[in-house]
Chains A and B, each alone.
Chain A
Amino acid sequence: MQKITSLFLLLACLLTQSAKSQDLLDMLGDPSSKEYTTATFKTSRLIIGQSIENVAKGNLNFIISHHFGRINEGSYNFWGLDQSTIRLGVEYGLTDKIELGLGRSTYQKTIDGFVKYKILRQDNQKMPVSVSYFGNMAINTLKWDDPTRENFFSSRLSFVNQILIARKFNNELSFQLTPSFVHKNLVKRAIDQNNIFAVGAGGRYKLTQRFSVNAEYYYLLPGQTADDFDNSLSLGVDIETGGHVFQLFFTNSQPLFERGFITETQGKWNKGDVFFGFNIVRTFTIVKPKEFRK
């Protein structure tokens, strides 16, 4: 009996000893309480449309979006590579939630300015999706069609409002739904719509840590615009190389800003009427986090 007891005591001592540092670790609690989901997409663009991602606070993205001409134009135009339309853009993270952007497109010599605001963020507890608002105003700066009549500056303006709803399902798969409302102050014909509704949907699948395939589609709700124009469909890849992200894609949309590609897409995929294009995104740190200010 004596022996058994001492053995028991020894065991108990050993057990408590070994369990102690684990107890201590448990005492620290579980720091992994609430965490926001990050990197739902690699950049602020899914392909040509906005993604749920904002530029980080104090960071500036310089984006060159470039399209060649139509692929089905054949060898005379070198399958479209002879022509190009571009959009040069900058976007800045004012805070963790607010991003401001400015761009200039070849298409209709358009200048556009936008704001993107994070309303909800997906986390590892209750919130299943991230939700952002995106608002864009575009100014067409083409010469007036008819300079002899009275023209108003407001006629140049068009507006886009989007709600971005995104979910990162896992490390590889992310999906986004984008209800959109486009308003054009001036339209060409009386039958054309000033107010147009569309729904965008898109996603990405990561094949490796630095390479993903993306798809993006905008569906125009029935109306005159849907009768005259096509739904925008883009397919592409993201390639990440440290400071840059390259997005290569095929799309049937020539314009590279929201109003343009949502409501003025004319290319037809089934006729090869598509454009090859790319975005190059370079991030610059303008304001360092306070921990790194010397």
Chain B
Amino acid sequence: MKNLIRFSIILLMISGSVFGQKYMTKNGKISFFSNGQTEKIEAVNNQVSSALDITTGDLVFKLLMKSFLFEKALMQEHFNENYVESDKFPDASFKGKVTNLSEINFTKNGKYKAMVEGDLKIHGVTKNVKSPGNIEVKDGKIIATAKFSLLLKDYGIKIPNTVINNISESIEITVNVGLDKIK
């Protein structure tokens, strides 16, 4: 009996480390776009960390809010100071899964539709999100892209009345990460 338990624990450990094939990057790209009535605001973050476990479908993202770059330096300051409060909530993260793993062949070059679902944490608030995306397998590299929208009020980010025409309540997020296999 003891042997069985020992065996199963070892099996679990092995399945986690050896058979779990993981892909990762530290310089993925996530950008967002606010299509306000009087102003278009765009910001890009080129230092997004992301990892994907192709055996389980686990997919995670993590980024620093202060790494978002804006066209205007003052916007960047206001974003960090007044809206997302980066001193209090320095990072944003996503922890979820690719839910249609069986439809994606990670060993074969090609483009696949992917469904992703999980918990998105921004500004200290965690919400469940679902989004379709694309996964491209290319010579052992995985390129994951997605585009989805979120509402600022869902994450407790307030827009003052004076700039209500400048900032859109709905923000479009674009994800583009190239993941390399961990050796």
Contact = CB atoms under 8 A, between A and B. Distances in A.
Contact of A35 (B4, B66, B81): B66
A242 B1 contact: no
Contact of A25 (B62, B66, B80): B62
A190 interface: no
A151 interface: no
Contact of A24 (B1, B22, B42): B22
Interface in A1-23: 1, 5, 8-9, 12-13, 16-17, 20-23
B56 interface: yes
Interface residues of B, number: 54
A31 B73 contact: no
A17 B12 CA distance: 10
A23 B44 CA distance: 27
Given A24-B51, A39-B81, A285 B71 contact: yes
Contact of B87 (A16, A171, A285, A289): A171
A292 interface: yes
B62 A242 contact: no
A8 B58 contact: no
Interface stretch (B101-109, B129-137, B146-154, B159-167): B159-167
Contacts of B73: 56-59, 93, 283, 285, 289
A38 interface: yes
A24 B63 contact: no
Interface in B48-75: 49-51, 53, 56, 58-60, 62-64, 66-67, 69-74
B49 A5 contact: no
Contact of B1 (A1, A38, A39): A1
Contacts, number: 115
Contact of B64 (A32, A170, A243, A283): A32
A170 B81 CA distance: 12
A29 B91 CA distance: 12
19 contacts: A12-B9, A17-B56, A21-B59, A24-B59, A25-B51, A25-B62, A28-B60, A31-B64, A31-B67, A32-B90, A32-B91, A35-B64, A35-B90, A56-B74, A56-B76, A93-B73, A241-B162, A291-B46, A292-B69
Given A31-B47, A35-B64, 20 more contacts: A9-B8, A12-B12, A16-B16, A17-B56, A20-B58, A21-B97, A24-B51, A24-B60, A25-B62, A27-B24, A28-B24, A28-B49, A29-B49, A38-B80, A39-B80, A59-B74, A171-B81, A242-B163, A289-B69, A289-B70
Interface of B: 1, 4-5, 8-9, 12, 16, 20, 22, 24, 26, 42, 44, 46-47, 49-51, 53, 56, 58-60, 62-64, 66-67, 69-74, 76-78, 80-82, 85, 87-88, 90-91, 93, 95-97, 118, 160, 162-163, 166
